[in-house]
Amino acid sequence: MIKTPYPLIHFKKRRTGLQTKEKILCIRQDRLPEAWMARTAVEPMPLSAFVDICTRAGHRFVDRTEAEQDARWQQVIPYVVLQTRDQDQTAVYLRQGSESRLHDLWSSGIGGHINSQDRSASSAPFKDILMSGMIRELGEELIRARLLTNRFSAASSMK
């Protein structure tokens, strides 16, 4: 279990073959700290420092297909780890969903692309877009978890 008061932000490595017109939040790789570009980079820092660096670097919504294929773009993918207040327990779950390569693997957090629907206005600050995307992802996953829990609870009460 990772115990940190800081957010963990994951920069996704690119895959090919994705067919979508979705626009996702990206930052030019050459404008980010070199340490963030390592194959496995976990850089604990206060959220305010992360937001400041990304704001100075500039951001753009890029067609997902382009971002997946063009090494100049880093996709910003927030990843939220849910823990009890005392950080004694961390929520984990078996993966499902659209990416079959992840099925039946354990995940310790919730994350996903930030897309253009997370932007309230064309000039929205980076922090507002980031927070909106994290809240949307959490909502989607927690609603999905609640629906699954309710379905299993209903099924077990029918026995």
pLDDT at residue 144 in the model: 67
Instruction: Give the bridge partners for 133, in sequence order.
Output: none
136 burial class (0-12, 13-18, 19+ CB within 10 angstroms)?
middle
Q: Which parts of the chain register pLDDT below 70?
A: 1-20, 97, 144-159
Report the alpha-carbon distance of residue 55 to residue 60 in Å, rounded: 11
Which pLDDT belongs to residue 93?
77
Can you give the pLDDT at residue 72?
95
Distances (CA, A) of 155 to 4, 45, 134, 150, 158: 38, 44, 31, 8, 5
pLDDT of residue 1: 45
State CA 83 to chain mean position distance.
Answer: 17
Q: What is the pLDDT of residue 99?
A: 73
CB-based contact 7:1 (threshold 8 Å):
no
> Can you give the pLDDT at residue 145?
64
Looking at 2.60.40.420, 3.90.79.10, 3.50.50.60, 3.40.50.1360, the CATH number of the domain 8-154 comes to: 3.90.79.10
Amino acid 19: pLDDT: 47
User: Against a cut of 0.75, is the pTM above it?
Assistant: no
Cα 7 to Cα 109: distance, rounded to the nearest angstrom: 11
Token couple for 105: 């693997």
Decide if 105 contacts 94 (C-beta within 8 A). yes
Q: Where are the alpha helices (DSSP H) in the chain?
A: 47-57, 64-69, 126-157
Which residue ranges make up each domain of the chain? 8-154
**Using DSSP, how many helices (H) and how many strands (E) does the chain show?**
3, 7
- pLDDT one-digit tens code per residue, 106-143: 888 888 899 999 998 888 999 999 999 999 988 887 77
Q: What was the pLDDT predicted at 157? A: 46
Q: What is the pLDDT, as a whole number, of residue 87?
A: 86
